[in-house]
Protein backbone atom coordinates (compact mmCIF):
# COMPACT_ATOMS: atom_id res chain seq x y z
CA UNK A 1 0.00 0.00 0.00
CA UNK A 2 1.21 3.49 -0.75
CA UNK A 3 1.25 6.28 1.81
CA UNK A 4 1.81 9.99 1.46
CA UNK A 5 3.34 11.82 4.44
CA UNK A 6 2.10 15.41 4.86
CA UNK A 7 3.21 17.93 7.49
CA UNK A 8 2.00 21.55 7.32
CA UNK A 9 3.76 24.47 8.93
CA UNK A 10 1.61 27.48 9.75
CA UNK A 11 1.78 31.05 11.04
CA UNK A 12 2.18 31.23 14.80
CA UNK A 13 3.13 33.64 17.57
CA UNK A 14 3.33 33.93 21.33
CA UNK A 15 1.17 34.15 23.35
CA UNK A 16 -1.50 33.85 20.63
CA UNK A 17 -1.44 32.62 17.05
CA UNK A 18 -2.57 35.01 14.30
CA UNK A 19 -6.25 34.60 13.42
CA UNK A 20 -6.75 33.15 10.88
CA UNK A 21 -3.75 30.88 11.25
CA UNK A 22 -2.42 30.18 7.73
CA UNK A 23 -0.40 27.40 6.09
CA UNK A 24 3.13 28.57 5.16
CA UNK A 25 4.74 25.27 4.10
CA UNK A 26 3.07 22.38 2.24
CA UNK A 27 5.28 19.27 1.89
CA UNK A 28 4.30 15.75 0.84
CA UNK A 29 6.61 12.72 0.71
CA UNK A 30 5.61 9.43 -0.91
CA UNK A 31 6.21 6.30 1.18
CA UNK A 32 6.44 3.63 -1.47
CA UNK A 33 7.34 0.07 -0.40
CA UNK A 34 8.89 -0.32 -3.85
CA UNK A 35 11.44 2.29 -2.80
CA UNK A 36 10.31 4.89 -5.30
CA UNK A 37 10.65 8.36 -3.86
CA UNK A 38 8.64 11.37 -4.87
CA UNK A 39 8.14 14.67 -3.13
CA UNK A 40 5.93 17.71 -3.45
CA UNK A 41 7.10 20.89 -1.75
CA UNK A 42 6.00 24.48 -1.73
CA UNK A 43 6.09 27.37 0.66
CA UNK A 44 2.79 29.24 0.88
CA UNK A 45 2.31 33.01 1.08
CA UNK A 46 -0.05 33.94 3.94
CA UNK A 47 -2.54 36.59 2.79
CA UNK A 48 -4.40 37.65 5.96
CA UNK A 49 -1.19 38.27 7.95
CA UNK A 50 1.65 38.39 5.39
CA UNK A 51 4.39 39.18 7.96
CA UNK A 52 5.78 36.18 9.83
CA UNK A 53 6.47 36.76 13.53
CA UNK A 54 10.08 36.29 14.58
CA UNK A 55 8.78 33.50 16.88
CA UNK A 56 7.41 31.69 13.81
CA UNK A 57 10.58 32.19 11.75
CA UNK A 58 12.66 30.80 14.63
CA UNK A 59 10.33 27.83 15.22
CA UNK A 60 10.00 26.75 11.59
CA UNK A 61 13.21 28.09 10.03
CA UNK A 62 11.03 29.64 7.29
CA UNK A 63 12.08 33.16 6.24
CA UNK A 64 9.97 36.14 5.24
CA UNK A 65 11.63 36.04 1.80
CA UNK A 66 10.58 32.41 1.22
CA UNK A 67 6.90 33.11 1.86
CA UNK A 68 6.95 36.46 0.04
CA UNK A 69 8.01 34.63 -3.13
CA UNK A 70 5.56 31.74 -2.70
CA UNK A 71 2.10 31.30 -4.24
CA UNK A 72 -1.00 31.73 -2.03
CA UNK A 73 -2.81 28.68 -0.59
CA UNK A 74 -5.38 28.09 -3.40
CA UNK A 75 -2.60 27.91 -6.02
CA UNK A 76 -0.49 25.55 -3.92
CA UNK A 77 -3.45 23.29 -3.18
CA UNK A 78 -4.17 23.12 -6.94
CA UNK A 79 -0.51 22.34 -7.75
CA UNK A 80 -0.49 19.66 -5.05
CA UNK A 81 -3.67 18.10 -6.46
CA UNK A 82 -2.13 17.92 -9.96
CA UNK A 83 1.02 16.31 -8.54
CA UNK A 84 -1.00 13.86 -6.39
CA UNK A 85 -3.18 12.72 -9.30
CA UNK A 86 -0.09 12.14 -11.46
CA UNK A 87 2.04 10.50 -8.77
CA UNK A 88 -0.10 8.60 -6.26
CA UNK A 89 -3.87 9.06 -6.67
CA UNK A 90 -4.57 6.04 -4.45
CA UNK A 91 -2.19 6.83 -1.57
CA UNK A 92 -3.47 7.11 2.01
CA UNK A 93 -2.19 10.27 3.72
CA UNK A 94 -0.14 9.79 6.88
CA UNK A 95 0.44 12.57 9.40
CA UNK A 96 1.87 13.07 12.88
CA UNK A 97 -1.26 13.79 14.92
CA UNK A 98 -4.65 14.92 13.64
CA UNK A 99 -4.04 18.69 13.50
CA UNK A 100 -2.95 18.84 9.82
CA UNK A 101 -6.08 17.34 8.26
CA UNK A 102 -8.69 17.66 11.02
CA UNK A 103 -7.96 21.28 11.86
CA UNK A 104 -5.51 23.24 9.66
CA UNK A 105 -6.61 22.11 6.19
CA UNK A 106 -10.36 22.64 6.76
CA UNK A 107 -9.65 26.12 8.21
CA UNK A 108 -7.42 27.04 5.25
CA UNK A 109 -10.09 25.83 2.80
CA UNK A 110 -12.82 27.79 4.62
CA UNK A 111 -10.71 30.98 4.57
CA UNK A 112 -10.31 30.72 0.80
CA UNK A 113 -13.85 29.43 0.15
CA UNK A 114 -12.60 26.12 -1.19
CA UNK A 115 -14.14 22.72 -0.65
CA UNK A 116 -12.10 20.39 1.54
CA UNK A 117 -10.73 17.83 -0.96
CA UNK A 118 -11.91 14.21 -0.78
CA UNK A 119 -8.38 12.85 -0.26
CA UNK A 120 -8.38 14.66 3.09
CA UNK A 121 -11.38 12.70 4.47
CA UNK A 122 -9.13 9.89 5.65
CA UNK A 123 -5.62 9.59 6.96
CA UNK A 124 -3.41 7.44 9.18
CA UNK A 125 -2.12 9.22 12.29
CA UNK A 126 1.41 7.95 12.97
CA UNK A 127 0.95 8.65 16.71
CA UNK A 128 -2.13 6.44 16.85
CA UNK A 129 -0.37 3.70 14.84
CA UNK A 130 2.44 3.82 17.40
CA UNK A 131 0.07 3.80 20.39
CA UNK A 132 -1.85 0.81 19.02
CA UNK A 133 1.05 -1.32 17.80
CA UNK A 134 3.97 -0.78 20.21
CA UNK A 135 4.03 -1.70 23.91
CA UNK A 136 5.83 1.55 24.82
CA UNK A 137 3.43 3.63 22.74
CA UNK A 138 0.87 6.05 24.11
CA UNK A 139 -1.15 8.72 22.37
CA UNK A 140 1.10 11.28 24.07
CA UNK A 141 4.33 9.95 22.51
CA UNK A 142 6.33 12.68 20.77
CA UNK A 143 7.78 12.42 17.27
CA UNK A 144 11.24 11.90 18.84
CA UNK A 145 10.00 9.11 21.15
CA UNK A 146 8.20 7.40 18.28
CA UNK A 147 11.29 7.54 16.06
CA UNK A 148 13.53 6.04 18.74
CA UNK A 149 10.80 3.49 19.65
CA UNK A 150 10.75 2.11 16.10
CA UNK A 151 14.54 2.46 15.69
CA UNK A 152 14.82 5.34 13.25
CA UNK A 153 17.01 8.43 13.64
CA UNK A 154 15.28 11.74 12.99
CA UNK A 155 17.05 13.79 10.36
CA UNK A 156 17.01 17.49 9.58
CA UNK A 157 15.31 20.22 11.52
CA UNK A 158 12.29 19.73 13.80
CA UNK A 159 9.42 22.02 12.61
CA UNK A 160 10.77 22.23 9.07
CA UNK A 161 7.78 20.86 7.16
CA UNK A 162 9.79 18.98 4.54
CA UNK A 163 12.14 17.47 7.17
CA UNK A 164 9.15 16.54 9.37
CA UNK A 165 7.38 14.92 6.39
CA UNK A 166 10.53 12.95 5.41
CA UNK A 167 10.87 11.79 9.02
CA UNK A 168 7.20 10.71 9.14
CA UNK A 169 7.84 8.76 5.91
CA UNK A 170 10.96 7.09 7.43
CA UNK A 171 9.16 6.14 10.64
CA UNK A 172 6.13 4.72 8.86
CA UNK A 173 8.27 2.79 6.36
CA UNK A 174 10.05 1.19 9.36
CA UNK A 175 6.70 0.46 11.08
CA UNK A 176 5.56 -1.36 7.91
CA UNK A 177 8.81 -3.39 7.86
CA UNK A 178 7.93 -4.36 11.46
CA UNK A 179 4.51 -5.62 10.39
CA UNK A 180 2.27 -2.62 11.02
CA UNK A 181 -0.43 -2.14 8.40
CA UNK A 182 -1.33 1.56 8.31
CA UNK A 183 -5.05 2.16 7.99
CA UNK A 184 -7.39 5.11 8.18
CA UNK A 185 -7.44 6.25 11.81
CA UNK A 186 -9.84 9.14 11.19
CA UNK A 187 -12.91 6.90 11.44
CA UNK A 188 -14.61 9.49 13.67
CA UNK A 189 -14.44 11.95 10.79
CA UNK A 190 -15.82 10.07 7.82
CA UNK A 191 -18.55 7.45 8.09
CA UNK A 192 -18.38 4.93 5.28
CA UNK A 193 -14.68 5.32 4.55
CA UNK A 194 -13.46 3.03 7.29
CA UNK A 195 -10.51 0.80 7.90
CA UNK A 196 -11.16 -1.54 4.99
Interface residue list for ligand AMP (CB under 6 A)? 7, 9-10, 12, 59-60, 159, 164
Out of ligand AMP, Mg ion, none, what residue 128 binds, judged by CB under 5 to 8 A for its kind, is none
Q: Decide which of Mg ion, ligand AMP, none touches 12; Cβ closer than 5 to 8 Å per partner kind.
A: ligand AMP
Q: Catalytic annotation on 49? A: no
Q: Where are the beta strands (DSSP E) in the chain?
A: 3-6, 9-10, 23-31, 39-43, 92-95, 123-125
User: Smallest distance from the beta carbon of 161 to Mg ion, in angstroms?
Assistant: 5
Shortest Cβ distance from residue 165 to Mg ion (Å)? 8
Rounded to whole angstroms, what are the CA distances from 105 to 7, 60, 136?
A: 11, 18, 30
135/153 with CB nearer ligand AMP: 153
Residues in the chain: 196
Question: In angstroms, what is the minimal distance from the CB of 162 to ligand AMP?
Answer: 11
Q: In terms of CB distance, is 7 or 125 closer to Mg ion?
A: 7
| Cβ atoms < 10 Å from Cβ of 35 | 6
DSSP string, 108-137: HHHHTT-PPPGGGG-EEEHHHHHHHH-TT-
Q: What does the alpha-carbon distance between residue 120 and residue 77 come to, in Å, rounded to a whole number?
A: 12
Is residue 159 flagged as an active site residue?
A: yes
Compute the least distance from the CB of residue 113 to Mg ion, in Å: 25
Q: Contact with Mg ion (CB under 5 A): which of 22, 32, 125, 164? A: 164
Please report whether residue 25 would count as binding Mg ion according to CB under 5 A.
Answer: no
In eight-state DSSP terms, residue 14 is S
Q: Tell me whether residue 135 or residue 163 sits nearer to Mg ion (CB atom).
A: 163
Give the other-Cβ count within 10 Å of 127's Cβ: 21
Could you list the residues that contact Mg ion (CB under 5 A)?
7, 164
Amino acid sequence: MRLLAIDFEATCDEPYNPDPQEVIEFPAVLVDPGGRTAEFHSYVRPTAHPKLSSFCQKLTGITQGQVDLAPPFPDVLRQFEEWRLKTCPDALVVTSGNWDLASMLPRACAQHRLEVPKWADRWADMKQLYAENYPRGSDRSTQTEIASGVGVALEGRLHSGIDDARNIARVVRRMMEQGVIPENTALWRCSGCGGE
